[in-house]
């Protein structure tokens, strides 16, 4: 089967990572990872991860990164402008990591319609528990970098997403195990796509605006 070229939308977390990986397995060549950060904080919105750490993550994977500062007011325009940067190469699809939120899926559809490319949604309408199990079983390593403080204590940030995490989060009522409703967000450190591993050397929990964040202060790439 001839390989098709795609851009994978990229938050640095488990869902965007697994979606990109599954798209690759389905025959897509991921030409770029496309990430956005807030203009104000230079961090991934809701994740709290610094733009420079996402740059290191892309380096660890070995796929070029398209990164764009965004504002709430002009988010659509800035998001699509970032994707258009990758159209210097022939691009046939854009990969998203949507799972079950219809408004997110429709938004992704509109992006791809506007750009005249295929929408690639490898996780769409799969069971969240099945997605998390697959992510863990494939050998990806990720940690929690933000969590809603009304749902989680600060001990949850920094937790590794593994089989014991899946057991623990299933015990909590009213929470999507993948955090699809924004309950928590993650950062992938290693896995099948990675050429190098990200090692977190220094971090601490930080409370801001109703969220616990993992303030990652020091890290390095290991081969």
160-180 residue pLDDT tens? 999 999 999 999 999 999 999
Mean per-residue pLDDT, 155-160: 97
Domain range 128-222, CATH class: alpha beta
Tell me what the pLDDT averaged over the chain comes to. Answer: 96
Which pTM does this prediction carry? 0.96
pLDDT value at position 1?
42
Token pair listed for 221: 């790439």
pLDDT value at position 223?
75
Q: Please write the tens of the pLDDT for every residue from 185-204.
A: 999 999 999 999 999 999 99
Token pair listed for 52: 């420079």
Helix H or strand E encompassing 102: helix 102-115
Token pair listed for 122: 């490898």
Q: Please write the tens of the pLDDT for every residue from 63-86.
A: 999 999 999 999 999 999 999 999
- CA-to-CA distance for 3 and 101, rounded, in angstroms? 29
pLDDT-based confidence at residue 100 (cuts at 50, 70, 90): very high
Is 184's pLDDT higher than 90? yes
How many CB atoms lie under 10 A from the CB of residue 150?
Answer: 8
Q: Please write the tens of the pLDDT for every residue from 105-131.
A: 999 999 999 999 999 999 999 999 999
pLDDT value at position 119?
98
Closest CA relative to residue 221, chosen from 205, 202, 193, 201: 201
Token pair listed for 218: 């020091």
Chain region(s) in the chain for CATH 3.90.1490.10: 128-222
Determine the CATH number of domain 4-120: 3.40.50.620
Chain region(s) in the chain for CATH 3.40.50.620: 4-120
């Amino acid at each position: 089967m001839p390989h098709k070229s795609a851009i994978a939308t990229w938050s640095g977390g488990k869902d965007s990572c697994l979606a990109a990986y599954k798209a690759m397995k389905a025959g897509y060549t991921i030409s770029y990872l496309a990430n956005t950060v807030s203009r104000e904080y230079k961090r991934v919105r809701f994740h709290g991860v610094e733009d420079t750490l996402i740059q290191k993550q892309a380096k660890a994977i070995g796929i070029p990164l398209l990164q764009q500062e965004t504002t709430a007011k002009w988010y659509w325009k800035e998001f699509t402008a970032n994707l258009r940067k990758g159209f210097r190469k022939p691009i046939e699809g854009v990969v998203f990591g949507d799972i079950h939120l219809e408004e997110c899926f429709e938004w992704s559809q509109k992006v791809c319609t506007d750009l005249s490319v295929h929408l690639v949604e490898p996780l769409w309408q799969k069971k969240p528990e099945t997605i998390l199990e697959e992510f863990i079983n494939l050998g990806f390593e990720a940690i929690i970098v933000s969590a809603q403080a009304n749902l989680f204590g600060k001990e949850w940030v920094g937790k590794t997403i593994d089989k014991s995490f899946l057991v623990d989060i299933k015990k909590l009522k009213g929470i999507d195990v993948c955090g699809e409703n924004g309950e928590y967000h993650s950062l992938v450190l290693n896995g099948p796509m990675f050429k190098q591993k990200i090692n977190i050397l220094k971090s601490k929990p930080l409370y801001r605006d109703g969220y616990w964040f993992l303030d990652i202060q020091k890290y390095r790439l290991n081969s």
